C-alpha cells in the first residue's frame, strides 16, 4: 500500500498537460541573463566584465563563503553587460548578460570522462561545489553544504524526492523516465559522499511509469523505491522523511537531526553530470505549463533564458495569463514580468488562467476547521491568519507555533473563505525577524 | 512559430502562494446546509399546515432583511446572498412552535441577527449560535406561547398538544407510552415525525438524512452528532429511569425533543464550536451532559438549546486547551 501522512489536500494535479511529453531541448538563446545570486547563502561577485569573451561552463561569479555556490556561463559568447536585471526571487539582482556566439563551445577540458568510484568523498564533494550545484527543487540550498553535515549528526538514510507533489509540474517525472541511469548514478555518488548504505526514492502513485523505471534501474544498488499516495504536500521534506522513515524532524530542527538527507531529482542529474562528465550546472529541465500556455512542454533550458523565450518556445499564450509563476502553483513565486531569467531553482514556469487561479474575495474566518485538517504540521492556520491581520507575531510564535509553518499552502487551498493564510504567515515571520533583529 | 506566438501578458496578479484554490466557498456551504434542511422543513409544513409555512417565511425574511439593513447602515459589504442569514432564519423557525403569533418569529429573527450575530462583528465572529439565542430570548419573553404546540394537522396517533418530553416530565413514562399505544409505535412515531413539537423537532429521519449528507460532503463533523446523541442516550439510559440505574429509555430520549436537530444542525455550527476534532468531541459530550441534566433535573422538559449555548460560551477555552498534535513535537 502506498504510504501517506496526516493532513494535506488533493488538488487536481493537472499533470496531464505535459506528463507524456518528452523533454524538448530549447534552441540556443541569442542572449542569456545570468544572475549572480541563484542560491541561499552568500551572493557571488561577478568575475567578468563587459567585453569579456566567455565559454560555456566558465565560472563567471563566485563567493569565498562556504554556504554559497559558483555561477557558470551557460553558453559561449561575449559579456555585453554586468548590471542589475529583473530576478524571479529578489526583484532585481546583479546579472551577467552574455550574447551567444552561436558556437556553444565548452571551456577547454569539458566534457571529460571520469570513474566516480575511484574518487573519495572529499573529492566528490569538491567537484559538486565547483559545479555550482544547488537544490533544484526550488529551495536552491547549496548541495555541497547539505552533503557536509557536522560529525555530531550521523546520517544513515538518503532520500530522493521523486514525489513531485506540486500540481502541473512534470519535470522530475520526465527526468526519472528519460535520465533514469543518471539519477541512479547521482544517488550512488551522493550516498558515497554521505557514507550511507540505505537509499530511498519516494514517488507519488500518479507516476506509475517512473516507479517501474526506477525499480528496474535500482536493482542491486541497495536503493528502495517507495510508492507514495498522491497527496499534497507529499514531497515536503519533513513529511517525506516521516512517511518513508517514520521519523519526525523535531520542531525547529533539520532533516539531519533525524539522520536523513533529502535531495531533488534534477539535482541528482546535475551531480552525475558534474562528477562523471565534469560539467557544471548550466541547464535544467523545467515544465512550462498552465491554462494560459498555448502548448505546454517540458523544456531543457539554459540558465539565464528569459521566461519570455521559454513561453515563446511553447507557442506563446493561449490567453493573457492571470498569474505568472516560477515553480509550482502551491509554493511557487508570482512574477510581475516576463523578462526574468530561468535560474537553477526554476522547476516550472506557470501561466495560469483566471479559471486555474479560482480566486475569490477574502472573507472572515468561519472556523470551519478545514485548514486544521489540511495542515501537515499540526498547526491552527486559521488563528495564524487572524493574528496576522492584527500583527500579533509574539502570540503567533508563542502559542500557535508560527515558526513551524512550512508555508506549503494546503490551508489556503482548502479555505472556503479564501483567506490568504500564507500571506499572513509570511508577514508575521517578517515582523518576528525584524523584532529579533531590533533586539540585537 | 514564434512569429505568431501571442505574448501579451495584460494585468498580472502578484500575491503570496498558493496560487490555486479549491471550489468550496462560504455560500456553497451555507446554501447546501439550507438545502439539506428543506425536506424536514417541508415535512413540518405538511404536518402543521400553512401556518408553519408562514412562520417560517417570517423568520427567514426578517433575518435576511435585518442583515441587509445592518450592513447597509454600517457601510459594510452586503452578504445576505451567502445564505447564512437565511439559515439562521430557517433554524430559528425549526426551533419554535408553528402556532406562535407573527411578531414572535419576527422579534426572534431580529434578535438573532442584530444582537447575536452583528454586535459581535458578523459571520465568523459570533460566539453564540444566533438561531439559538433568538429562541432563548423568545422562550424567556413568551414562555407560554413558546411551549404550546399545535395538534397535528393530519392526526394519526391522537397525540396531544404537549410534546413527548413534556408528557414524560409531567405525567411519567407509562402515560407517554400509553399515548402512543405501545413502545414500538412510540419509537416509530418519533422517528418518522408524527408527533407534536416545534417545527424542526418532528422527523428524526429527515434530519438524520440531511445531516448524513452534510457529513458526506465534509461540511459537518460526524463526531459531533454521534457523541452528543450518544452521550444523551447513555446518560438517560443510566440515570433516566425510575427503577434504579440503567432503567431509562435511551431511544425515546435520543429521538425526542430538539436533540436530533440540535446535534446535526446547531452543535455543528462551525463558527460557534471548537475547531479541532478533539475539541468538538469535548463540546458534543458537554452539550449531551447538559441536555440530560436539564431534562432530568431542570425545570424545562427540554434542554438542547441551553446546553449548546452554554457550550458555545466555553468554546474559546476548549480551543486553547485542545490544539492539534504538532508535527515534530513528539521526541
Could you tell me which of B298, B100, B289, B113 has the C-alpha nearest to residue B198?
B100
For B25-37, b/e burial (b = at least 16 CB within 10 A) is bbbebbbbbbebb
Predicted pLDDT at B136: 96
Predicted pLDDT at B159: 43
Q: A128-161, pLDDT tens digit by residue?
A: 999 999 999 988 999 999 999 999 999 999 999 9
**Residue pairs between chains A and B whose CB atoms are closer than 8 Å:** 194
DSSP assignment string, B99-159? TS-THHHHHHHHIIIIIIIITTTSTTT-SS-HHHHHHHHHHHH-HHHHT-PPPPSS-SS--
Interface test with B, best of A347, A413, A416 (most B CBs within 10 A): A416
- Write out residues 292-311 of A within 8 Å (CB-CB) of B: 294, 308, 311
Q: Could you give the CA distance from residue B291 to residue B302 in angstroms, rounded to a whole number? A: 7
Query: Does pLDDT of B117 surpass 60?
Result: yes
Query: Does pLDDT of B152 surpass 60?
Result: no
Distance from CA of B79 to the nearest CA of A (A): 10
Instruction: For residues B260-276, give the mean pLDDT.
Output: 96
Distance from CA of A239 to the nearest CA of B (A): 9
Task: Say what the pTM is.
Answer: 0.93
Under an 8 A CB cutoff, do A317 and B9 touch? yes
Fill in the DSSP letter of residue B268.
Answer: T
Q: A119-137, pLDDT tens digit by residue?
A: 999 999 999 999 999 999 9
Whether A28 and chain B come into contact, CB under 8 Å, resolves to no
Which residues in chain B touch residue A382, judged by CB atoms under 8 angstroms apart?
275
- Write out residues 309-328 of A within 8 Å (CB-CB) of B: 311-313, 315-318, 320-325
Q: Could you give the CA distance from residue B26 to residue A417 in angstroms, rounded to a whole number? A: 6
Under an 8 A CB cutoff, do A315 and B1 touch? yes
Predicted pLDDT at B195: 76
Query: pLDDT band at B328, cuts 50/70/90?
Result: confident
Whether A47 and chain B come into contact, CB under 8 Å, resolves to no
Could you tell me which of B128, B131, B113 has the C-alpha nearest to residue B316?
B128
- Check residues A300 and B167 and name the one with the higher pLDDT: A300
Instruction: For residues A12-25, give the mean pLDDT.
Output: 96
Fill in the DSSP letter of residue A334.
Answer: E
Per-residue 3-state assignment (H helix, E strand, C coil) for A200-249: EEEEECCCHHHHHHHHHHCCCCCEEEEEECCCECCCCHHHHHHHHHCCCC
Could you tell me which of B261, B199, B200 has the C-alpha nearest to residue B52?
B199
**What is this model's ipTM?**
0.91
Q: B52-96, pLDDT tens digit by residue?
A: 999 999 999 999 999 999 999 999 999 999 999 999 999 999 999
Mean pLDDT of chain A: 95
Query: pLDDT band at B156, cuts 50/70/90?
Result: very low
Q: Could you give the CA distance from residue B186 to residue B163 in angstroms, rounded to a whole number? A: 12
Q: B204-225, pLDDT tens digit by residue?
A: 999 999 999 999 999 999 999 9
Distance from CA of A82 to the nearest CA of B (A): 27
Whether A216 and chain B come into contact, CB under 8 Å, resolves to no
Query: Does pLDDT of B160 surpass 50?
Result: no
The SS3 assignment for A271 reads helix
Query: Does pLDDT of B154 surpass 70?
Result: no
- Check residues A331 and B9 and name the one with the higher pLDDT: A331
Q: A276-331, pLDDT tens digit by residue?
A: 999 999 999 999 999 999 999 999 999 999 999 999 999 999 999 999 999 999 99
Q: What is the CA radius of gyration of chain A?
A: 21
Query: pLDDT band at B135, cuts 50/70/90?
Result: very high
Q: Which of B4, B18, B219 sits opposite A330 (nearest CB)?
A: B18
Under an 8 A CB cutoff, do A416 and B324 touch? no
Query: pLDDT band at B161, cuts 50/70/90?
Result: low
Q: Using DSSP bridges, classify how beta strands A223-228 and A198-204 pair: parallel, antiparallel or unpaired.
A: parallel
Predicted pLDDT at B271: 95
Amino acid at each position: 500500500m502506498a504510504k501517506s501522512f496526516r493532513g494535506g489536500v488533493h488538488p487536481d494535479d493537472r499533470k496531464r498537460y505535459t506528463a507524456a511529453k518528452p523533454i524538448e531541448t530549447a534552441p540556443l538563446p541569442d542572449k542569456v541573463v545570468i544572475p549572480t545570486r541563484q542560491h541561499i547563502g552568500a551572493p557571488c561577485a561577478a568575475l567578468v566584465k563587459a567585453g569579456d569573451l566567455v565559454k560555456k561552463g566558465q565560472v563567471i561569479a563566485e563567493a569565498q563563503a562556504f554556504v554559497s555556490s559558483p555561477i557558470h556561463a551557460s553558453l559561449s559568447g561575449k559579456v555585453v553587460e554586468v548590471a542589475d536585471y529583473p530576478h524571479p526571487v529578489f526583484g532585481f539582482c546583479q546579472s551577467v548578460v552574455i550574447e551567444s556566439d552561436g558556437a556553444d563551445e565548452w571551456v577547454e577540458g569539458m566534457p571529460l570522462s571520469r570513474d566516480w568510484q575511484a574518487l573519495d568523498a572529499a573529492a566528490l564533494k569538491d567537484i559538486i561545489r565547483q559545479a555550482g550545484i544547488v537544490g533544484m527543487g526550488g529551495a536552491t540550498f547549496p548541495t555541497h553544504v547539505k552533503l557536509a553535515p557536522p560529525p555530531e549528526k550521523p546520517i544513515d538514510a538518503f532520500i530522493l524526492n521523486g514525489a513531485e507533489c506540486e500540481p502541473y509540474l512534470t519535470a522530475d517525472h520526465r527526468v526519472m523516465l528519460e535520465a533514469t541511469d543518471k539519477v541512479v548514478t547521482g544517488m550512488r555518488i551522493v550516498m558515497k559522499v554521505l557514507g550511507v548504505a540505505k537509499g530511498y526514492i519516494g514517488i507519488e502513485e500518479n507516476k506509475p511509469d517512473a516507479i517501474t523505471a526506477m525499480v528496474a534501474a535500482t536493482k542491486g544498488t541497495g536503493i528502495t523505491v517507495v510508492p507514495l499516495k498522491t497527496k499534497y504536500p507529499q514531497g515536503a521534506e519533513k513529511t517525506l522523511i516521516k512517511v518513508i522513515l517514520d521519523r519526525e524532524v523535531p520542531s525547529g530542527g533539520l532533516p539531519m537531526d533525524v539522520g536523513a538527507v533529502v535531495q531533488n531529482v534534477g539535482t541528482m542529474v546535475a551531480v552525475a553530470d558534474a562528477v562523471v562528465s565534469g560539467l557544471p550546472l548550466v541547464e535544467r529541465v523545467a515544465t512550462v505549463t498552465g491554462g494560459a500556455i498555448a502548448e505546454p512542454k517540458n523544456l531543457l533550458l539554459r540558465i539565464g533564458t528569459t521566461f519570455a523565450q521559454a513561453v515563446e518556445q511553447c507557442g506563446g499564450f493561449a490567453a493573457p495569463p492571470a498569474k505568472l509563476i516560477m515553480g509550482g502553483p502551491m509554493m511557487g513565486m508570482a512574477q510581475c514580468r516576463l523578462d526574468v531569467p530561468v535560474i537553477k531553482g526554476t522547476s516550472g514556469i506557470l501561466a495560469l488562467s483566471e479559471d486555474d487561479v479560482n480566486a475569490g474575495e477574502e472573507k472572515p474566518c468561519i472556523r470551519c476547521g478545514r485548514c486544521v485538517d489540511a495542515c501537515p504540521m499540526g498547526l491552527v492556520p486559521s488563528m495564524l491568519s487572524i493574528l496576522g491581520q492584527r500583527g500579533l507575531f509574539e502570540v503567533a510564535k508563542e502559542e500557535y507555533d508560527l515558526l513551524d509553518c512550512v508555508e506549503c499552502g494546503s490551508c489556503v487551498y482548502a479555505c472556503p473563505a479564501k483567506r490568504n493564510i500564507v500571506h499572513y504567515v509570511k508577514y508575521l515571520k517578517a515582523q518576528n525577524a525584524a523584532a529579533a533583529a531590533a533586539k540585537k | 512559430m514564434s512569429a505568431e506566438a501571442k505574448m501579451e501578458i495584460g494585468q498580472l496578479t502578484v500575491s503570496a502562494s498558493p496560487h490555486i484554490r479549491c471550489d468550496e466557498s462560504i455560500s456553497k456551504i451555507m446554501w447546501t446546509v439550507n438545502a439539506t434542511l428543506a425536506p424536514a422543513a417541508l415535512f413540518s409544513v405538511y404536518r402543521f399546515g400553512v401556518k408553519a409555512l408562514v412562520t417560517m417565511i417570517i423568520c427567514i425574511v426578517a433575518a435576511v432583511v435585518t442583515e441587509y439593513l445592518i450592513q447597509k447602515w454600517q457601510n459594510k459589504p452586503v452578504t445576505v446572498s451567502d445564505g447564512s442569514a437565511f439559515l439562521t432564519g430557517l433554524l430559528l423557525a425549526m426551533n419554535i412552535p408553528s402556532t406562535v403569533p407573527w411578531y414572535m418569529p419576527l422579534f426572534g429573527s431580529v434578535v438573532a441577527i442584530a444582537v447575536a450575530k452583528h454586535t459581535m462583528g458578523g459571520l465568523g465572529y459570533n460566539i453564540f449560535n444566533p438561531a439559538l439565542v433568538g429562541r432563548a430570548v423568545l422562550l424567556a419573553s413568551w414562555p407560554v406561547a413558546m411551549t404550546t404546540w399545535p395538534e397535528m394537522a393530519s392526526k394519526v396517533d391522537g397525540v396531544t398538544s404537549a410534546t413527548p418530553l413534556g408528557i414524560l416530565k409531567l405525567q411519567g413514562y407509562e402515560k407517554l407510552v400509553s399515548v402512543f399505544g405501545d413502545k414500538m409505535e412510540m419509537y416509530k412515531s418519533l422517528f418518522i415525525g408524527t408527533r407534536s413539537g416545534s417545527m424542526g423537532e418532528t422527523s428524526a429521519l429527515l434530519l438524520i438524512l440531511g445531516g448524513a449528507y452534510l457529513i458526506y460532503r465534509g461540511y459537518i463533523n460526524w463526531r459531533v452528532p454521534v457523541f452528543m446523541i450518544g452521550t444523551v442516550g447513555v446518560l438517560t439510559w443510566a440515570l433516566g429511569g425510575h427503577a434504579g440505574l440503567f432503567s431509562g429509555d435511551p431511544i425515546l430520549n435520543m429521538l425526542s425533543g430538539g436533540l436530533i436537530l440540535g446535534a446535526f444542525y446547531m452543535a455543528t455550527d462551525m463558527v460557534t464550536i471548537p475547531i479541532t476534532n478533539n475539541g468538538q468531541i469535548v463540546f458534543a459530550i458537554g452539550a449531551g451532559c447538559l441536555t440530560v441534566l436539564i431534562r432530568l433535573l431542570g425545570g424545562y422538559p427540554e434542554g438542547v438549546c441551553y446546553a449548546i449555548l452554554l457550550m458555545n460560551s466555553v468554546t474559546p477555552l476548549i480551543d486553547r486547551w485542545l490544539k492539534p498534535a504538532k508535527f515534530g513535537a513528539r521526541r
